[in-house]
Chain A
Amino acid sequence: MGNYFFDSATVFEELDRVDGKAKVTGQAKYSAEYEMPGLAYGVIVGANISKGTIAAIDINAAEKAPGVLGVVTHLNITKPAGYIAADATKPAAVRGLKVFDDNVIHFNGQPIALVMADSFERATHAASLIKAQYNKETFSTGLEQAMKDEKPLEGNQYKESIRGEKDAWKNAAVKVEGTYTMPNQVHNPMEMHATTVKWEGDDKVTVWEKTQGVKSTQRDIMQAFALTEKNVQVNTLYVGGGFGAALRTWPHAMAALIGAKKIGKPLKVVLTRMQMFTLVGYRPEAIQKIAIGADNDGKLIGMMHEANAVTSNYENFTENIVKMTRALYSCANVTTKYNVYPVELSTPTWMRGPGEATGSFPLECALDELSYQLKMDPIELRLKNYAETDPENGKPYSSKFLKEAYQLGADKFGWKDRHPIPNTMMENGWKVGVGMSTGIFGAFRNEAKLGLKLMADGTLIMQTAVSDSGPGTATAMTKIAADAMGLPYNKIKFELGDSSLPPGPTQGGSSSTSTVGAAVSTGCVTLQKKLAEAAKSSPVFGHIVAVENFLFQNGEMVLKTDPTKKLSYSEVLKNAGMTSIEFIENSGRNPAMEKYSAYSYAVHFVKVLVHPLTGVVKIAKAVVAGDAGKIVSPKTAKSQMIGGVVGGIGGALMEESVIDERYGRWINNNFADYHVPVHADVPAIEAVFVDKPDPILNPVGSKGMGEIALIGFAAAVANAVYHATGKRIRELPITPDKLI
C-alpha cells in the first residue's frame, strides 16, 4: 500500500520506555502516593457472612478509638444522588453493588463499614473494633453446586447459537469429547487498588484513582454524585498493573468518595491484598463441555461447546467464552451455549484475555486430542481447517497472517524435532513434552480525541485522557509521532492520565494502540497540513502550500522537488508569527471496516518437563508468535507478549481460588497461598511477530496484543503435558497431584 507511516525511510533507534526513568528511580507516583495536608486514611471493613442481612452494627468503640475521624455504615450514610433512580422504571445511575446502601449482604467481604482516622495504623486498629451481627441465609459459592441446584440466567446472550446442523459432530468418523474445568482466577496486580479523594465544597472533587479509564471513572463519579464534568477531576498518571481489575469504579472508590465528604478532609483508601480477592473482580470459574468431530482427513465436521460460569447474585457478568469456537476454524456445523449461574461471590470482571482465555482451553485441548487420534501434526490439523473468511459471517479479514505465525513460531521453537508419539521423550530424568495452541481476539479501533501542540521550539506535545497500566502507551505513541513527523524522540511528549485532557478510550480489550495510535497518526497528518499552510509565510518555499510537496523529516519541512529548500518547524512557526499550532484531532472507526472482520492471533509453543515421580511440571521453554499487525514499538511489544505468557503460566500451573464452601470465604487470599509465577517458574521466553500491517483497521497498521499474549496458553501447556506423559489433564491448574 505504501502509505503506512512505518513504510517511511527514517530508521529509528529502539526506544526505551519514555517513563522508564521515573519508574526505576521511584519517582513515578501511583494513586496512593499523593501527599496533601490533613490526609486521612480509610480502611474498609468487610462482612464475614456470605448471604443475609446486618441485624446490628456497633461502631461505638471504633468511633472512640484514638485518631478516628469518622465511620460510615449503611445506617449513617448520606446517599449519593446516583443511588436513587430518578424514576422507578429506570435503574439507578450507580450500577452494581451500591456500597453501604442497605443492610443486605451479597458476598463474604462485602464492605459494611469504612473507618477513617488520622493515620493508617489507627484506622486499621479502629476497623478491627467494628462488630456486626447478622441474620444469616443459606448460600452457595461453587459452580458445580449451582449447576445442580439452580437454573442458569435467561436472556438473549445465553441463547444457544447453532450454525449449520446441531449434532453434526456426533456422526463424524473421528470424535473427541471432554469436560474441562477452570477455577476462579484473580488479577492481583502488584499495586493494590487505591483511591485518594479531595473534595472542595460539596460539588467539586479531585480523585487520584487506580483506573484503566480516567474518563469512565470521571463519568461514574459525575453520575453518582450528580456533578458536572468540570467539577470532577480524575488523575491517574501511573497504574501499577490492571489486567482488567481497574476497568470499573468499584465500591471501595465510592466508599472513599462518600467518606471523604463526610469528614471534610482528603482521604485515601487502599485495599489490602486480601480485599483484592473480593472487591475488584476475578475471572469466573468455568465448567465447559466440548465435542468435536472430523473426517478421516482431519476436516472438521461439527463442534459443540457449552460453557458454564459464575456471576454474582446482584449483577450479570458475561464474556465471550464460546465465541472463539465459532470464529477460529472453518467448520460448517457449530453449536455453542453459554450458561451463567449467580452465586454468593462478588461480581467477576474481565481478566486479561477475558472469556477467550477461558474458552480457548477446551477448544485448543480438543484440537490437540483430535490430532493424536488422526495421527496428524497439530499444526497441520489447524491448517487443514484454516478459515480464509470469517466463519461467523463470511466477511473477509482486514488482515490475517496466522499461517505465517504458525510457521514463524514453529521455526523459532524447533517444532520439527517433536516426536509424534507421546510419553517418549526424556531429559535428565524428566519427561519431556511439547505442545502448541492458537489464540484469537477481536481487533478493535474506538473513538479518541487527541490534543496536539507544536510549540515554538519544535516540541510536539500530545494529550489524551487515557491511562496506562503498563503496556507503554506513551512510548508507542511517541514512536508513531516521531515516525510521522520526523522528530527525534526527545522532542515529543505524550501526556495522559488526566480527565481534563481531550477524551481518550479506556485501556482494555487490546485496543489502545489501535485507537490512540490512529489519532496520533491522523493527527500528525493534520499537523503536516497545518504546517504547510503556515509555511506560506516562508519565502524559501515560493508560497507552495500543498502538503504533498513536502517531506517531514529531522524536524524540518523539505521541499520534495528541491531538497536544499528546507525549514525547521520552529522557523516555519516563527515566519508565520505563530507561537504554536494547537488543535484537537478526532479519530474514529474506519467506516470501511463494516465489510471486514478483524482479529489478532497468537500461536503458543511450550516445552514442559514433568517429573515422573512427583508430577511437578516445569516450563522449560516458551515461544509465542503473534499476528498483531504492524509492531509499533518492538521492545515494549515483546515485553507485553512475554508478560502475557507469564500470566498464562500462572493460569496453567498454579492459579486457583480456594473457597471454603461452608463459610463462603476465600482461603488462599494472599500471595503465599494463591500462587502466581515467580522468577524461578519462568524460563527465557521468546516473542516473535509476523509484523505485517493491517491495511484497513487503522492507519498505523496495528492490531491488538495484550489479550492474545495469554489466550490459548493454558491449552499449550496441557497439550505439552499430554505429550510428555500421555495424560490428558482437563482441570486447571495442572498441579502435581493431577499427574501422580
Chain B
Amino acid sequence: MCQQPTNDAEKQPSLHHARRNFLKQTSALTALALAPSVVMKAAEKKLDEKAAGFFEQKTLNIEVNGKAHQLSVEPRATLLDVLRENLHLTGSKKGCDLGQCGACTVHVDGKRVLSCLSLAVMQNGKKITTIEGLQQGDQLHPMQEAFIKHDGFQCGYCTPGQIMSAVACISEGHAGTDNEIREYMSGNICRCGAYPNIVDAISEVAKKGGSRD
C-alpha cells in the first residue's frame, strides 16, 4: 500500500461530517465549546451523553505495516477493531473478541499479540504488523507459501492468525519438534481442523532455517 504517512483522522469525511452536524445541532456544545471541563462535568452527571461522546476520542500514533497513522480513537476501542473498522485492514480476524481463539493475532514490535485483548490507545508509538504486511511486494512470506503448499486451511478464517502466530512461533524458538509446535500454536483455534497440515507447514519453514519477519 502507500508509504506516505497520512493523517487518517483528517481524511475521514464521514467523521468530519458527523462532527459538523453535531456542532450545528448541539447548541449546548456551541455555548460550552470553550469550556470543555464544564461539558465533562455535565457528562458525568449524564446531563448530556452526546457531549461526552464528542470528547471520548484520543489521538493515537501507530505504524501499521510500515505506514504511519495518526488516528483518533475511543479509549475503549481494541486494536483489532481499530485495524478492521478504522484502517479497513480486515485480514486480522475476530473469532471471539475474548482472547480465546488467536484469529486476531498480529505482531506488535515483533511479538505476537492478541489484538482483541489490546486496547488501541496503549499501542501509541508501536509498530504493528498484520497479515497484510507480511509479504514483501509480490513475494509471499515463506510461511504463507508453506500454508498454501500444505493446505493449512479450509475456510481461511483462522489462517491470518495462524500464520502470524506461526512466524512468531519460529522466531521465539518454539518450533523445534512437531510436538513443540503443537504446544506453542495451541492458542490458535482452527474449527475446520487443518491442524496437521498447519504443523507440516510450520515444521517445513522451521527446518528451512526459519522465517523472515
Contact = CB atoms under 8 A, between A and B. Distances in A.
Interface in A629-683: 635-636, 638-640, 642-647, 670-672, 676-680, 682-683
A680 to B, nearest CB: 4
A236 to B, nearest CB: 12
Given A27-B91, A680-B183, A680-B186, A647 B193 contact: yes
B155 A238 contact: yes
Contacts of B92: 26
Contacts of A638: 151
Interface string B133-174: 011000010001001110101111111100100000000000
Contact of B93 (A240, A680, A683): A240
A29 interface: yes
A639 B188 CA distance: 18
Given A241-B191, A639-B154, A679 B199 contact: yes
A27 B130 CA distance: 12
Given A17-B148, A26-B91, A192-B95, A680 B182 contact: yes
B38 interface: no
Contacts of A683: 196
Interface residues of A, number: 71
Contact of A682 (B53, B98, B158, B182): B182
B70 interface: no
A188 B158 CA distance: 12
Contact of A470 (B18, B160, B182, B192): B192
Given A35-B88, A241-B157, A680-B183, A645 B193 contact: yes
Contacts of B155: 189-191, 238-242, 469-470
B7 to A, nearest CB: 19
Given A24-B159, A25-B132, A25-B135, A677 B97 contact: no
A646 B132 CA distance: 29
B197 A190 contact: no
B193 A189 contact: no
A120 B81 contact: yes
A24 B163 contact: yes
Interface stretch (A59-67, A452-460, A586-594): A59-67
A33 B90 contact: yes
Nearest to A129: B49
Contacts of B194: 639, 642-643
**Among B95, B195, B199, which residue has the most Cβ atoms of chain A within 10 A?**
B195
Nearest to A243: B191
Nearest to B51: A66
Contact of A26 (B131, B153, B188): B131
Contacts of B95: 190-192, 273
Contacts of A419: none
B117 interface: no
A16 interface: yes
B190 interface: yes
Dominant SS at the B interface? loop
Nearest to A272: B97
Given A29-B90, A680-B183, A670 B189 contact: no
B185 to A, nearest CB: 4
Contacts of A242: 155
Contacts of A684: 178, 196, 199
Interface string A20-43: 111111111110110101100000
B101 interface: yes
A66 B132 contact: no
A119 interface: yes
Nearest to B178: A684
B157 A191 contact: yes
B147 A24 contact: yes
Nearest to B50: A66
Contacts of A712: none
Interface string B73-114: 010110001001100111111111110110100000000000
Contacts of A188: 191
Nearest to A633: B151
A213 interface: no
B154 A472 contact: yes
B49 A64 contact: yes
B213 interface: no
Given A470-B155, A677-B195, A270 B49 contact: no
Interface in A386-413: none
B91 A679 contact: no
B91 A189 contact: no
B135 A30 contact: no
Interface string B188-213: 11111111111100000000000000
Contacts of A35: 88
B56 interface: yes
Contact of B191 (A37, A122, A645, A676): A676
Given A65-B49, A66-B49, A643 B154 contact: yes
B14 interface: yes
A118 interface: yes
A685 interface: yes
A504 interface: no
A211 to B, nearest CB: 13
Contacts of A29: 90
B181 interface: yes
B198 A679 contact: yes
Interface string B30-65: 000000000000000000011011101000000000
A26 B96 contact: no
A198 to B, nearest CB: 15
Interface in A473-519: none
Contacts of A472: 154
A192 B101 CA distance: 12
A360 B194 CA distance: 24
A487 B100 CA distance: 44
A350 to B, nearest CB: 16
A19 B153 CA distance: 11
B130 A677 contact: no
Question: 6 shortest A-B CB distances, which residue pairs?
Answer: A26-B91, A66-B53, A646-B193, A240-B157, A23-B156, A470-B154
21 contacts: A21-B140, A26-B132, A125-B76, A190-B95, A191-B155, A192-B95, A192-B96, A240-B155, A240-B157, A241-B154, A273-B98, A470-B156, A471-B154, A636-B154, A642-B194, A647-B193, A670-B100, A671-B101, A678-B189, A682-B193, A683-B196
Given A24-B144, A25-B132, 10 more contacts: A17-B151, A21-B140, A25-B135, A26-B130, A28-B156, A30-B93, A191-B155, A238-B156, A270-B94, A469-B155
